[in-house]
């Protein structure tokens, strides 16, 4: 089943709005109600305000992307960039994560957050808040499909990050419906599919913040390495170090 959400943590933490796969409610419980959203969520500036590298990557997501509870440089997109920089890759990463965002929010701000940045790659990591807020799976799927279609129309290669169920999921359940959205859309649009941002750290409390939902700085470092490796083949050849 999906890892259980800690209701007390949700009550006392704005962070609970934006979760990755490990933050979904258990398969045998009812989905949580609408969760609090930060009053003034901030997205990173578009690439026109960032140093232009050989390759620019935008992360379009929620609080796991935004880096809730961390210093800006410790957020996941910046840590992925650090992995690439250590390898000598000429890549600039833009953090377009907003805590509390749903797929509808991501679609609504796609032009400002992604298209205006004129990136070489967009990493789409949205949908957990849709699940928690009771958004029908078909609507979440439609929004993600529209984001992928908009990226394709703009000529921006995309990566889709999924919500991966853990353990047994009953066929026909809401959990199964949400879990199927991502591999299905990745196949339909021909884009690479990354199953889960949190991955193995979701089972290690020492790598999570006190809310039990969001990674610590060390947790982000652990998340960044495999994600950077997965994304590296999708970078433009000009980003690679010359011999």
HEC states along the chain? CCCCCCHHHHHHCHHHHCCCHHHCCCCCCCCCCCCCCCCCCCCCCCHHHCCCCCEEEEEEECHHHHCCCCCHHHCHHHHHHHHHHHCCCCEEEEEEECCCCCHHHHHHCHHHHCHHHCCCEEEEECCHHHHHCCCCHHHHHHHHHHHHHHHHHCCCCEEEECCCCCCCCCCCCHHHHHHHHHHHHHHHHCCCEECCCCHHHHHCHHHECCCCCCECHHHHHHHHHHHHHHHHHHCCHHHCCCC
Is 63 a residue of the active site?
yes
Q: How far is 97 from 187, CA to CA, in rounded Å? A: 24
Domain spans of the chain, in order of start: 7-26+51-239
Of residues 176 and 165, which shows the higher confidence score?
Answer: 176
pLDDT class for 52, splitting at 50, 70, 90? confident
Question: Which residues lie below 8 Å from residue 3, measured CB to CB, with a gap of 6+?
Answer: 22, 23, 24, 26, 166, 202, 203
Which residue has tokens 């377009």? 96
Distances (CA, A) of 161 to 13, 144, 211: 24, 11, 23
Is 211 a residue of the active site?
yes
Beta-carbon-side half-sphere exposure of residue 8 (alpha carbons within 13 Å): 3
| Catalytic-labelled residue, pool 74, 101, 130, 211 | 211
Inform me whether the pLDDT recorded for 41 exceeds 90.
Answer: no
Inform me whether the pLDDT recorded for 224 exceeds 70.
Answer: yes
**Cα 75 versus chain centre, distance:** 12
Inform me whether the pLDDT recorded for 26 exceeds 80.
Answer: no
Proportion of the chain above pLDDT 70, given as a percent: 75
Inform me whether the pLDDT recorded for 137 exceeds 80.
Answer: yes
Task: Please provide the size of the chain in residues.
Answer: 243
Which residue has tokens 């609408």? 34
| Mean pLDDT, rounded, of the chain | 82
Q: How far is 152 from 157, CA to CA, in rounded Å? A: 7
Inform me whether the pLDDT recorded for 155 exceeds 60.
Answer: yes
pLDDT in tens, 105-130: 999 999 999 999 999 999 999 998 99
pLDDT at 176: 92
Window from 48-57, 131-140, 161-170, 202-211 with minimum mean pLDDT: 48-57
Is 214 a residue of the active site?
yes
| Catalytic-labelled residue, pool 13, 44, 63, 196 | 63
With respect to CATH, is domain 7-26+51-239 assigned 3.40.50.1110?
A: yes
């Amino acid at each position: 089943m999906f890892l259980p959400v800690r209701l007390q943590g949700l009550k006392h933490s704005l962070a609970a709005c934006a979760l990755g796969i490990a933050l979904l409610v258990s398969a045998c419980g009812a989905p949580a109600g609408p969760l609090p959203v930060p009053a003034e969520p901030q997205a990173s500036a578009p690439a026109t305000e960032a140093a232009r590298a050989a390759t620019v990557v935008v992360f379009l997501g929620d609080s796991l992307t935004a880096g809730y509870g961390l210093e800006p440089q410790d957020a996941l997109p910046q840590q992925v960039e650090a992995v690439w920089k250590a390898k000598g890759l000429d890549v600039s990463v833009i953090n377009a994560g907003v805590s509390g965002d749903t797929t509808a929010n991501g679609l609504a701000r796609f032009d400002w957050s992604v298209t205006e940045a004129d990136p070489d790659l967009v990493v789409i990591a949205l949908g957990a808040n849709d699940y928690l807020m009771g958004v029908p799976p078909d609507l979440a799927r439609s929004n993600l499909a529209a984001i992928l279609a908009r990226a394709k129309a703009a000529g921006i290669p995309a990566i889709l990050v999924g919500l991966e169920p853990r353990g047994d999921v009953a066929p026909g359940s809401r959990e199964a419906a949400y879990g199927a959205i991502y591999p299905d859309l990745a196949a339909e649009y021909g884009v690479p599919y990354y199953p889960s941002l949190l991955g193995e750290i979701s089972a290690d409390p020492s790598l999570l913040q006190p809310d039990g939902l969001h990674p610590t700085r060390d947790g982000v470092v652990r998340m960044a390495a495999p994600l950077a490796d997965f994304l590296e083949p999708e970078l433009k050849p000009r980003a690679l170090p010359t011999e």
